[in-house]
Structure 1
């Protein structure tokens, strides 16, 4: 299960039944049937977050009015801590309304709420629920976040990073961290060489968020990390944290990753076939990359599809292709199949689409294909 669309369809009375049956072990009189019926009545036509809110509201009307007692009951919905590689889109997605309950009704009880969210994140995630607490109780929450960054649990450490991301997908931005990322960087310092892949991905995504408003700060951070913490774990974070700057052709970011010599690279014989296709078809890009220098160079090769919008404008989207080590005079032939399919964040419209080959952020060749109605 992945993506907002595929996830939302699961939040119906069936999810209410799953939660209700767990709650009944701590609150035998909980009205599971009524809860499920209410959810089924209210969710048609709603998107994911609104469906989750319906489930949280249904919990609120059926749990004890005393918030602390309600949390004691909700603990019965939580399971064992998730091992590495499992998360909200796999085994514990049905707990989203539990975290949303805390997000909606727990702001007046920051201590109890943060304790409970720590428990939630061990078996699900609290990356969305924590954000109102950062906004309303920043000092208290960030003190707890810094503690979480050193927790033995990879799930708790991951919350310290993911919950503080300035641009977390599906969540409202944290404008104070967009403007001043220093408090977030203080947390990331503790995670810059984390042994968990789950945590490292979050750290890289967080720093990538920061790079969009503060590229120099992000670059200074990764340079220092590379110098002070020269581990494979840190190197992985650095590479993925710089991906937006690399796609933008930021030469300093490329230099940090050891890519050089873009001015000595030539691209030959680019084709995009078929020249005309329909939604669901695949266009295949073929071209050769040549190093014309007398020295070897490591280069980053991407391709850019300029999508036609409804108003006819072209909007570029950069896609990763390959990192190449090219000997002096070496030529490498590359091929990439790109399927034209709609995703949650992108729609396609008929018209002429341009495709660029980009080497070290520099456009080297351009082709085009026609998307038919």
Structure 2
């Protein structure tokens, strides 16, 4: 994906920026100089620096030029405007009002979730107050920025340490967005609360428990997504909110692995029987975990979703799953014995092991 996006920053894009910003051909030449050797973010940063050199030195004037140059709001975001975001973050930091106006318009075309974070660092109260206003904005991209831009652990961005220490200001913003009509916004709310759960699990649980009291289907979706990391950890209160009681009365049997020995790149298929030992109906959340062998010989566990099931008294079901051992950009595989567990309502049940070879 990064390679595909990187290739967007080419002559055609630079010429388009020159046209939009009414800049001379020298701008194009400077942007293209050394561009090919750079990766995605470096390309965008390089173009942003060249834009800065060719635009007015007084940032409020630059902001006005940027806003005038923006195309009509689009249905999707465009990485065409990433250099604009980087320029605002670096050179607009001493001009709060003009920078916020520019980001309000920018985020309708390309998210300002990255550039806005510098303003939370320097102007926490002012930025939070502006976000409180924007939470009621008619544009759903702006409303999403309120949640996405305040995420304590936003991927690809510096963490907002103050919000990691005290998420209360973020939670106040999420309260305004928890029933937003757009799934696009609600998904960001869920991801933000999932971020909070990693640093303050109890606070996230308290928020979800409060939201669950009068929740409709859309808000329940947020709650399930927000608790996903805690559910994978077997957090009992998170599971309880979702209707999965602790201490399930079950047995695991007849585990089968095909193949039991496989090579890097192969796909593993496995199955097992899940049997209720209770005289009552049980609602069960079923996940599985693989303990991957690392380069140093140690293992690291990763939990995967499998299914949920309602078992009648003494009922039984056969469950099946597949998992790939192909190399990925996010995970490298190493030979060795990989053990598997099943998690039933967060309780671990050993399943077995397979051998991975080179």
Assess if the C-alpha contact under 8 Å between 1:261 and 1:297 holds in 2: no
Assess if the C-alpha contact under 8 Å between 1:167 and 1:173 holds in 2: yes
Secondary structure of 2:248's aligned partner = helix
Assess if the C-alpha contact under 8 Å between 2:248 and 2:284 holds in 1: no
The residue that corresponds to 1:16 in the other structure is: 14
Secondary structure of 1:122's aligned partner = coil
The residue that corresponds to 2:331 in the other structure is: 346
Matches of 1:272 and 1:18, distance apart in 2:
55
User: Aligned-pair distance for 1:326?
Assistant: 1.8
Matches within 5 A, 1:94-173: 94-173=80-159
TM-score by length of 1: 0.90
User: Aligned-pair distance for 1:239?
Assistant: 0.6
Secondary structure of 1:11's aligned partner = coil
Matches of 2:341 and 2:97, distance apart in 1:
52
User: Aligned-pair distance for 1:5?
Assistant: 4.8
2:189 to 185, 203, 206: 203
Is the aligned partner of 1:311 residue 2:296?
Answer: yes
The residue that corresponds to 1:365 in the other structure is: 350
**Cα deviation digits, residues 103-135 of structure 1 (max 9, x gap):** 111101111111111111111101111000000
Assess if the C-alpha contact under 8 Å between 2:27 and 2:51 holds in 1: no
TM-score by length of 2: 0.94
The residue that corresponds to 2:51 in the other structure is: 59
Matches of 1:284 and 1:140, distance apart in 2:
54
Is the aligned partner of 1:193 residue 2:179?
Answer: yes
Query: Which runs of 5 or more structure 2 residues have no equivalent in the other structure?
Result: none
**Cα deviation digits, residues 47-74 of structure 1 (max 9, x gap):** 4322321121121122222212222222
User: Aligned-pair distance for 1:9?
Assistant: 4.1
User: Aligned-pair distance for 1:32?
Assistant: 4.8
Query: Which runs of 5 or more structure 1 residues have no equivalent in the other structure?
Result: none
Matches of 2:298 and 2:23, distance apart in 1:
59
Assess if the C-alpha contact under 8 Å between 1:12 and 1:36 holds in 2: no
**Cα deviation digits, residues 318-359 of structure 1 (max 9, x gap):** 111112122222212121111123333322222222222111
**Cα deviation digits, residues 84-107 of structure 1 (max 9, x gap):** xx33xxxx1221111111111110
Assess if the C-alpha contact under 8 Å between 2:23 and 2:54 holds in 1: no
The residue that corresponds to 2:255 in the other structure is: 270
2:209 to 208, 215, 223: 223
